[in-house]
Amino acid sequence: MQRSMKLGHCVCDPRRPCPCDVFTNQGICPCAGERPDPIDLSQVRLTQMVHNAGCASKIAPADLEAVLARLPKVDDPAVLSGVAAGDDAGIYQLSEDVTLVQTVDVFTPCVDDPYTFGRICAANCLSDIYAMGAVPRTALSILGFPSETHDGRIMYHMLKGAMDVMAEAKVALIGGHSIKDEEIKLGFAITGTIERGRAVEHGTARPGDVLVLTKPLGVGVLNFARQVGKNGADFAAAEQSMATLNAAAAEAMAEVGVSACTDVTGFGLFGHLVSMVRHSGMTARVYADSLPAFGGAVELLREGVVPGAVERNREYVGEDLAVAEGVDAALADLGFDAQTSGGLLICVPRERHGRLMAALAQRGVRGRTVGEIVEPSTGRIELCNAGEARPATETREASEAAPGRSAGAEAPAAPADGDVECECMRRIPPSLQSPPVQAELRVADAGASPCCGPSAAAEPCCPQQGAAATPVAAAAPGESTAALSSQAFGQMMRVTGKGGAIDERGKFLINFALAVMSRCAPCVAAFVEKARTQNVPREQLDEAAWCAIAMGGAPVRMFYQDAMENIGRGRGCCT
**Measured CA distances, 461 to 58, 423, 527, 545 (Å):** 50, 8, 10, 22
| Alpha helices, H only, 431-520 | 435-440, 463-466, 481-497, 504-517
**Measured CA distances, 383 to 205, 207, 333 (Å):** 18, 17, 11
* Residue 427 main-chain phi, psi, to 5 deg: -110, -10
Which residues lie across from 176 on neighbouring strands?
141
Q: Give dist(CA 533, CA 509) in Å, integer.
A: 14
Active site residue 55: yes
**Measured CA distances, 263 to 71, 266, 537, 559 (Å):** 25, 10, 41, 21
Is 521:572 a contact under the CB 8 Å cutoff?
Answer: yes
Is 335:286 a contact under the CB 8 Å cutoff?
Answer: yes
The catalytic residue among 31, 55, 452, 573 is 55
* Residue 266 main-chain phi, psi, to 5 deg: -65, -25
Beta strands in 40-148 (DSSP E): 79-81, 90-93, 99-107, 135-145
Query: Does an H or E element contain 5, and which?
Result: helix 2-7
Q: Give dist(CA 88, CA 105) in Å, integer.
A: 10
Q: Give dist(CA 35, CA 28) in Å, integer.
A: 7
* Residue 73 main-chain phi, psi, to 5 deg: -75, 145
Residue 496 burial by CB count (10 A; 0-12/13-18/19+): exposed, middle or buried?
middle
Is 186:158 a contact under the CB 8 Å cutoff?
Answer: yes
Is 150:111 a contact under the CB 8 Å cutoff?
Answer: no
R_g of the chain, CA atoms, integer Å: 26
Residue 13 burial by CB count (10 A; 0-12/13-18/19+): exposed, middle or buried?
middle
Active site members: 55
